[in-house]
C-alpha cells in the first residue's frame, strides 16, 4: 500500500561518477553495469608513503577487505599514490563510499570511486613518466607525491646547454 519516497531518501554517495576507464575492454554500457555491481573501489590522492597496512586499517571499518592492490609507478615500481580496495560484498564497499570517501588517511583527504574490477596491468600509473597522469601536469608542490608535477619539475631544472 505504502510507497518508499525514493526521491526523499537519496543515497548519492554511492552513485557512480563521471569517470570511465579509457582502457576498459568493452563498451560504456558494459563498464557502467560492472561499476554498479562492483565490490572494488579505486582510492586516489594517497601519499606515496601510505602503506597497505594503513589502507587495510581504515577500509576494514566498513567490512572485511578481500584484497588491496597498491598502485605503482610503471618505471620505478614504487607506490605512486593510488590503490584498489576490494571487498567481499557490495554492501561493505557502499559503506566505504558513504563514510570513508572524502575523509583523511595519512593526513590527506582521499577519494574513493567505483572500479569495474582489477585486471593485471591496472596497478600501474598511466602517466608518461610512470606515475599517475595527474602528477604529470600539476603545478603545485606536494611533498607526499614527489614534490612538483613532472612537467613543472622539468621546467624548473634548467636544461643542459646544447653543444652547438
Partner 1 sequence: MSRRRHSDENDGAQPHKRRRTSEPIEIEDRLESLICRVGEKSTSSLESNLEGLAGVLEADLPNYKNKILRILCAVARLLPEKLTVYTTLVGLLNARNYNFGGEFVEAMIRQLKETLKSNLYSEAVYLVRFLSDLVNCHVIAAPSMVAMFENFVSVTQEEDIPQVRSDWYVYAVLSCLPWVGKELYEKKDVEMDRLLNQIDGYLKRRQKIHVPMLQVWSAEKPHPQEEYLDCLWAQVQKLKKDRWQERHILRPYIAFDSVLCEALQHNLPPFTPPAHSDDAVYPMPHVVFRMFDYTDAPEGPVMPGSHSVERFVIEENLHCIIKSHWRERKTCAAQLLSYPGKNKIPLNYHIVEVIFGELFQLPSPPHIEVMYTALLIELCKLQPGSLPQVLAQATEMMYMRLDTMNTTCVDRFVSWFAHHLSNFQFRWSWDDWADCLTVDNEKPKPKFVKEVLEKCMRLSYHQRIVDIVPPSFSALIPAEPMFQYKYEDESNTASLPGFATAVTVTNAIKNRASNEEILAVLKEIPNPNQDDDDDEGDGFNPLKIDVFLQTLLHLAAKSFSHSFSALAKFHEVLKTLTESDEGKLHILKVVYEAWRKHPQMIAVLVDKMIRTQIVDCAAVANWIFSSDMAHDFTRLYMWEILHSTIRKMNKHVQKIQKELEEAKDKLEKQQHKKQKDSGDEEDMEKNSDDEDGQLEEQIERLQEKVESAQSEQKNLFLVIFQRFIMLLTEHLVRCETGSVDINTSWYKNCIERLQQIFLMHHVIIQQYMGTLENLLFTAELDHHILAVYQQFCALQL
- Residues in contact with partner 1 by CB under 8 A are 1-5, 7-14, 51-54, 56-58, 61-62, 64, 67-70, 95, 98-100, 103-107
Of the candidates 117, 114, 133, the one whose C-alpha atom is nearest the C-alpha of residue 125 is 133
In the complex, minimum distance from the CB of residue 119 to partner 1, in angstroms, rounded to a whole number: 17
Alpha-carbon span 106 to 38, nearest angstrom: 26
Shorter beta-carbon distance to partner 1: residue 35 or 105:
105
- Three-state SS for 107? coil
Give the Cα separation of 44 and 50 in Å (integer). 11
Q: Of 88 and 137, which CB lies nearer to partner 1 in the complex structure?
A: 88
- Tell me if 64 sits within 8 A of 93, measured CB to CB: no
Nearer Cβ to partner 1 (7/160): 7
Q: In terms of CB distance, is 72 or 116 closer to partner 1? A: 72
DSSP calls for 48-67: TT--HHHHHHHHGGGS-EEE
Q: How far is the CB of 46 from partner 1 (least distance, A)?
A: 13
Q: How far is the CB of 20 from partner 1 (least distance, A)?
A: 25
Amino acid at each position: 500500500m505504502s510507497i518508499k519516497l525514493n526521491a526523499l531518501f537519496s543515497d548519492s554517495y554511492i552513485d557512480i561518477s563521471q569517470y570511465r576507464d579509457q582502457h576498459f575492454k568493452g563498451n560504456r554500457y558494459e563498464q557502467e553495469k560492472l561499476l554498479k555491481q562492483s565490490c572494488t573501489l579505486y582510492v586516489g590522492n594517497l601519499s606515496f608513503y601510505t602503506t597497505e597496512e594503513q589502507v587495510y586499517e581504515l577500509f576494514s571499518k566498513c567490512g572485511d577487505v578481500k584484497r588491496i592492490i597498491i598502485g605503482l609507478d610503471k618505471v620505478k615500481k614504487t607506490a605512486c599514490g593510488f590503490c584498489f580496495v576490494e571487498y567481499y560484498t557490495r554492501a561493505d564497499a557502499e559503506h566505504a563510499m558513504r563514510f570513508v570517501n572524502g575523509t583523511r588517511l595519512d593526513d590527506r583527504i582521499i577519494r574513493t570511486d567505483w572500479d569495474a574490477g582489477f585486471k593485471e596491468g591496472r596497478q600501474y600509473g598511466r602517466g608518461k613518466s610512470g606515475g599517475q597522469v595527474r602528477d604529470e601536469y600539476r603545478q603545485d608542490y606536494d611533498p607526499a607525491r614527489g614534490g612538483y608535477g613532472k612537467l613543472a619539475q622539468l621546467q624548473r631544472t634548467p636544461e643542459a646547454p646544447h653543444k652547438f
